[in-house]
Structure 1
Amino acid sequence: MILHGYWRSGTSYRTRIALNLKGLTYDQVGVDLRQGAQRSAAYLALNPQGLVPALEVDGQVLTQSPAILEWLEETCPEPPLLPVDTGARAQVRAMAALIGCDIHPLNNLRALKALRQDFGADQAATDAWAGHWVHAGFAALEALVARHGDGWAWGDAPTLADCYLIPQIYSARRFNVSLEAYPRLLAIETAAEAHPAFIAAHPDRQPDAD
Structure 2
Amino acid sequence: MKLYSYWRSTTSYRVRAALNLKSIAYDLVPVDLIAGQQRDEDYRALNPNAGVPTLVLDDGTVLTQSIAILDYLDAAWPTPRLIPQDPLDRAKVMAAAHTVACDIHPVNNLRVIAELKSRFGATPDQAREWMCHWIGEGFASLEHQLASDTAFSFGSSPDIADLCIVAQIYNARRWGLNLTPFPKLRRVEAACLDVPAIMAAHPDQQNEAQDIRRASA
Q: TM-score range by the shorter chain?
A: over 0.9
* Distance in 2, Cα, partners of 1:146 & 1:60: 37
Tell me how far 1:111 sits from its aligned partner.
0.8
Residue in 1 aligned with 2:206?
Answer: 206
Matches within 5 A, 1:1-210: 1-57=1-57, 58-146=59-147, 150-209=150-209, 210=212
Give, as a single letter, the amino acid of the residue that structure 1 aligns with 2:151.
G
1:6 touches 1:32 (CA, 8 Å); kept in 2?
Answer: yes
Tell me how far 1:191 sits from its aligned partner.
1.3
Give, as a single letter, the amino acid of the residue that structure 2 aligns with 1:66.
I
Alignment coverage as a number of residue pairs: 209
Cα RMSD after superposing both structures: 1.1
1:6 touches 1:52 (CA, 8 Å); kept in 2?
Answer: yes
* Distance in 2, Cα, partners of 1:118 & 1:96: 31
Tell me how far 1:143 sits from its aligned partner.
1.2
4+ runs deviating over 4 angstroms: none
* Distance in 1, Cα, partners of 2:173 & 2:21: 24
Tell me how far 1:146 sits from its aligned partner.
3.5
Tell me how far 1:177 sits from its aligned partner.
0.6
Tell me how far 1:156 sits from its aligned partner.
1.1
* Distance in 2, Cα, partners of 1:96 & 1:67: 12
Deviations 1:40-99 (A, max 9, x none): 111011111111110110221111111100000110011101223111101111100000
> Given the two structures, how large is their TM-score scaled by the length of structure 1?
0.96
Deviations 1:87-118 (A, max 9, x none): 11011111000000000111111111111111
1:127 touches 1:177 (CA, 8 Å); kept in 2?
Answer: no
> Given the two structures, how large is their TM-score scaled by the length of structure 2?
0.93
- Unpaired runs of 5+ residues, structure 1, are none
* Distance in 1, Cα, partners of 2:197 & 2:124: 32
Tell me how far 1:208 sits from its aligned partner.
3.2
- Unpaired runs of 5+ residues, structure 2, are 213-217
* Distance in 1, Cα, partners of 2:55 & 2:46: 9
- 3-state DSSP class of the match of 2:165? helix
Residue in 1 aligned with 2:215?
Answer: none
- 3-state DSSP class of the match of 1:28? strand
* Distance in 1, Cα, partners of 2:165 & 2:55: 21
1:152 touches 1:158 (CA, 8 Å); kept in 2?
Answer: yes
| Matched-pair identity in % | 48
